[in-house]
């Protein structure tokens, strides 16, 4: 009889523990991740001072592309990521108005200086 009571108590305790564990936990995003889209940085090892930054919306459509000359972007730095996020959100506002991909309007260069 005692064995049966112990089994029921352990099953009941297990059910209480399972009930407390959430099914899906929300993942906290990094502060430089934008909900409006993403950016891609294209560089070359042989010419590090030339790079192309392309901005895409969440539907994977190109919104803007700019070629940067004379600037080396270190994407490991938080400050650079935050500036690229700000540029992305500015470009998204322009994209919402026009709907046409633009290039070399110097949005990114202005944000990085």
Report yes or no on 3 lying in a domain. no
Are the CB atoms for 65 and 108 separated by under 8 Å?
no
Report yes or no on 41 lying in a domain. yes
Helix, strand, coil tally for the chain in percent (to 5): 40, 20, 35
Report yes or no on 14 lying in a domain. no
pTM assigned to the model:
0.72
Give per-residue pLDDT as tens, 40-85. Answer: 999 988 988 899 999 999 999 999 999 999 888 888 999 999 999 9
Q: Domain of residue 68: give its range.
A: 37-112
Give per-residue pLDDT as tens, 5-51. Answer: 777 767 666 665 555 556 566 778 888 899 999 999 999 889 888 99
* Domains in the chain, number: 1
């Amino acid at each position: 009889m005692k064995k049966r009571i112990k089994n029921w108590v352990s099953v009941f305790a297990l059910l209480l523990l399972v009930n407390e564990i959430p099914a899906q936990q929300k993942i906290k995003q990094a502060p430089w991740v934008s909900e409006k889209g993403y950016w891609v940085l294209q560089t070359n090892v042989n010419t590090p001072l030339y790079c192309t930054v392309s901005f895409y919306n969440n539907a994977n459509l190109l919104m803007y592309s700019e070629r940067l000359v004379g600037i080396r972007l270190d994407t490991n730095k938080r400050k650079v990521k935050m500036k690229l996020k700000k540029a992305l959100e500015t470009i998204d506002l322009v994209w919402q108005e026009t709907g046409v991909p633009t290039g070399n309007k110097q949005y990114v260069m202005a944000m990085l200086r």
